[in-house]
Every structure is written in C-alpha cells, then in structure tokens.
Structure 1
Amino acid sequence: MNYKTIIPEYKNNVCYIQINRPEANNSINDILIEECTRVLDLCDENIKIVVIKGLEDVFCLGADFNEIHANISKGNYSNQSPEPLYNLWLKLATGPYITIAYVRGKANAGGVGFVAACDMVIADETAQFGLSELLFGLFPACVLPFLIRKIGFQKAHYMTLMTKPISVSQAHSLGLVDVYDKRSESLLQKHLLRLKCISKTAIIKYKRYVNSLNDILTKSKSLAVEANEEIFSDRDNINGIFRYVDEGKFPWEN
C-alpha cells in the first residue's frame, strides 16, 4: 500500500512505523492519524512488537498548525475532531502488541502523546521533550491522561505549566524515558532481541490484564476530547495560530 505520511516496515514479528513528514517537521495531520491506525489494525493478529520512530532530528512536533489554518480558512473546522488521535494513542497503549517509542531529536506536544502512549520509550541522547501548548492558550488535553499514567500527576502538571523542553536525562529521571544512549539503535535492537522471545499469546493476556489495573485512559477519553474541542474552537486561540502561521509570531509577541 502507498502511504503519504509514514513508512511502515515489517521484519518477522516486528512492525516499524516511521513518521515521515520532513516538510512539516513530522507534525500530526488527519492523514497521519488514519495511516497509523490502519497499520496498527494490520498488526493485531500476528505482530508482537510495534516500534514508532521519527526522523533523526525530529520525532514528532505535534499538531500541524498549517493544516489547521488551511481547514479553518476553508470552513472545515467541524471535521477536526481529536477523537481519532486519542483512539490511536489508546490503541498503542492497550493493543495486543508491545509498543516502543524510539525517540531521536525533538518530541513536542502531540509528539509527547505518542511517547506517553507506548509501553516502552527508548531514546537517543539527542532527544528532548516539551509541551508548548499553553504558550498558545491551548493545553495538552488529550496528551495528559497518557502522560499522567506514565509519570504521575504532578510531573505532568509541571511539564505542562513550564512549557519548556526537557533533556533526555531529565525525561529519564521523570520516568518518561526508560533507557537512552548515544548508541540508541544498538540499544533498540538489544531490547527487540529479548522482547521477541515473548509469545503473542502472553503479550495479549498481559496487556489485557495490566490495562485493567488502571483504566484512566478510557475514563478520561470523553473529558479529554471535549476539552480539546473547546480550546481549539476558542477564537483567541485560533487567531494566535493564524498569526503564527501567517507572520511567524508567537501570541505574546508585539
């Protein structure tokens, strides 16, 4: 199949999904969400491990403001539901496979959502993580349930309020990153060698059990989607996004 925003690759029982939008800093658009979901659906039966990765210098920078600008300008805002993205992350968190976020370079906003949704996070020493939404009057409504489950309420709260990117070592100390190294590709392969020994049946039963211990993701879905829709329909927030796209200026700049 031909994909516009990702490069899927299958090796034995492992599926690699590379986010591949270099022209848009690997930002998230509707096609990316649809294509990632389609590939994950194909992984349900036989794939043991799914690896989400980006480019060498950028993992994923969150929402595509240019696409939001274009859609709203055409009067298509009603089509911009956050629910498909939340469902995609929910599938990464609860699906019948082990999910790994392999992070090199920048992960911001929705990029952190991909990271927080995965079972494991393996990173390069170049990786950095940030939640910049509040700078635009937004907040990471759909990211937070996944991030809180991953690192706890206060740490997620602090990251959201500070809006400042953190280094891979800081992310490791918070529990967002499990392991990191400058030889990150080798580190990833060592993990895959071990994880491949686990049977598909064992993975399915374990994921079903462990996700039943904490159902914050399911319980939070409607609230997160509603909050996201509200902040992205706020006229001041939309004006800030338009100004950033049109003039390259942040909302607080004169």
Structure 2
Amino acid sequence: MSFETLSMENADGICTVRFTRAQAGNAINAAFIAELSAVVDACAAADGPSVLVLHGSAEVFCAGGDFQATAASDVVEDPAPLYELWQRLATGPFIAIACVRGRVNAGGVGLVAACDIVLAESTASFALSELLFGLFPACVLPFLVRRVGVQKAHYLTLSTQAISAAQALEWGLADGVADPVEDALRKHLLRLRRLNKAAVGGYKAHMAGLAGLEAAKPAALAANRTMFSDPAIRAGIRRYVAERKFPWED
C-alpha cells in the first residue's frame, strides 16, 4: 500500500505507522483519515497485526484538524469518518499504542485518547484549542472523558492551555512517560505482542459496551456539523490561516 500522509511497516505482528505531514503539523485531512482507516481495517482482520503503533514527528504528534483545508473550501466536512476511525481504534481487535513526542492539539488529542495505551516523552504537551475559534471539541470529548473524566476534560476545553506529559500521566491521558519513548514502547511490547488477538478483541468489545462511545456519537456529530456550518466561525478560521490572528484580535 502506498500513502501520502503516513508510512507503514509490518513486522512480527506489529504494524508501525509514522505520520509524514510534519510540515503541516501532521494535521488531519481527508487523506489522513482514509489512509489511517485502511491501516486500521488491515489490523482488524483476523490475520492482521495484533499491535498498531502510531508515531508523529519529533516536534508534533498531531496538530488536529487541517485548518488550511477548511479555509480553502466552503464544503463542511462530514465528521463521521473521523469519529468512526477513533471508535475503531478504541474498539478494534488489536492493541493501539500512541507514541507521543512534541505537541498534541485538538483532534490530535482525540486520536491519542482513542488509543489503548499512550506513551509520551517528557517534552510532549496536550491541548484543546477549539474554543479560541468559537468551536468546542464535540467529537473528542467522548474519547477524552473515557480517559480522564468529565471535569478534567471540561478544564482542558475551557482553559485552552496545554498540559505537560507529567500532568497527562497524572490525569490518565498518558500511561507512561520515558525519554526516549521507544524505551517504554519496547518494555510494553514484550508482553503485548504475545497476547491472543481473539481475546483482545473480545475484551475490547466488552469494554466498548461500558464506554458508551456509540451512544455519544449522534450528539457529537450533530454539534460538529452545526459549528463548522457557522459562517462566522469559518470566517475566523480563514482569517487565522491567512493572518495568524485569533477572532478577537484587531
């Protein structure tokens, strides 16, 4: 398989994905969603890899949605494919691991929160910036709340401030911090790669029923569509892309 936004390597039951849009902050666009979805489909197959490892770049894991693409089009993107990608990461019959270096923002937090295990380097940071643009992270919240609880997700949303890797570990958004992150990954893979894939699939299907991600989906998608259909919000995004000014700035 050839990709535009990522690279993939399979070896010994482990699928390693590296995002390759570093110049764009590994931002999430339609191609990114489609390509990562194809990888997830392959991992979900009975004969597919049992572990999926996601890497960003040294300075940014994922900066969230692609504002450049949003500003360049009047079309409101359907949020369902992204939500469903995260849902399959959270519920699929494989172990999804995010290895985080650098910055994680907005939809990048959703991607991380959807993974089963999050390992980070000490310089990593995590932020929800949506309210700066008159948005809120409707699709991120079901996955984030599952990890950190309602109040911490509420605080991240309202503050729009980044938290450190150490804070993310304390809150449960990260499961381990190590420099380099590969040290923690190697230790985890010693056992994770040996777990029975069918057992993992059964366990995650059971957990999916407890997490309520499917029940949260209609409201999350409806809120996202409403916000991104607002002309004032879209104008603010275009201005930020063109002038790097927030909506309230003169």
Please classify the TM superposition score into its range, dividing by the shorter chain length.
over 0.9
Structure 1 residues 180-202: Cα deviation after superposition (integer angstroms, max 9, x where no partner): 01231111111011111211121
1:213 Cα shift?
Answer: 2.3
Q: Secondary structure at the match of 1:67?
A: helix
Structure 1 residues 224-243: Cα deviation after superposition (integer angstroms, max 9, x where no partner): 01100111111111111010
Q: Which residue of 2 aligns with 1:65?
A: 67
Q: Which residue of 1 aligns with 2:105?
A: 108
Q: Quick one: which amino acid aligns to residue 70 of structure 1? A: A
Instruction: Output the CA distance in 1 between the equivalents of 2:23 and 2:61.
Output: 13
Asked if 1:245 corresponds to 2:211, the answer is: no
TM-score for the superposition, normalised by structure 1:
0.95
Instruction: Output the CA distance in 1 between the equivalents of 2:134 and 2:209.
Output: 34
Instruction: Output the CA distance in 2 between the equivalents of 1:66 and 1:144.
Output: 23
Q: Which residue of 2 aligns with 1:41?
A: 41
TM-score for the superposition, normalised by structure 2:
0.97
Instruction: Output the CA distance in 2 between the equivalents of 1:17 and 1:251.
Output: 35
Asked if 1:221 corresponds to 2:223, the answer is: no
1:23 Cα shift?
Answer: 2.2
Instruction: Output the CA distance in 1 between the equivalents of 2:200 and 2:170.
Output: 27
Q: Which residue of 2 aligns with 1:148?
A: 145
Q: CA RMSD in A?
A: 0.9
Q: Quick one: which amino acid aligns to residue 66 of structure 2? A: D
Q: Which residue of 2 aligns with 1:28?
A: 28
Deviates more, 1:81-90 or 1:244-253: 244-253
Aligned identity (percent) is: 49
Q: Which residue of 1 aligns with 2:7?
A: 7
Q: Secondary structure at the match of 1:129?
A: strand
Q: Secondary structure at the match of 1:197?
A: coil
Q: Quick one: which amino acid aligns to residue 166 of structure 2? A: S
Instruction: Output the CA distance in 2 between the equivalents of 1:183 and 1:51.
Output: 15
Instruction: Output the CA distance in 2 between the equivalents of 1:172 and 1:133.
Output: 22
Instruction: Output the CA distance in 1 between the equivalents of 2:84 and 2:208.
Output: 15
2:136 aligned to 136, 139, 157, which one?
A: 139
Instruction: Output the CA distance in 2 between the equivalents of 1:95 and 1:138.
Output: 29
Structure 1 residues 168-188: Cα deviation after superposition (integer angstroms, max 9, x where no partner): 011111110011012311111
Pairs aligned (count):
248
Long gaps (5+) in structure 2: none
Instruction: Output the CA distance in 1 between the equivalents of 2:207 and 2:2.
Output: 35
Q: Quick one: which amino acid aligns to residue 219 of structure 1? A: A
1:253 Cα shift?
Answer: 1.2
Asked if 1:82 corresponds to 2:84, the answer is: no
Instruction: Output the CA distance in 2 between the equivalents of 1:32 and 1:245.
Output: 20
Q: Quick one: which amino acid aligns to residue 38 of structure 2? A: R
Q: Quick one: which amino acid aligns to residue 123 of structure 1? A: A
Instruction: Output the CA distance in 2 between the equivalents of 1:245 and 1:205.
Output: 44
Q: Quick one: which amino acid aligns to residue 146 of structure 1? A: F
1:212 Cα shift?
Answer: 2.0
Instruction: Output the CA distance in 2 between the equivalents of 1:248 and 1:162.
Output: 20
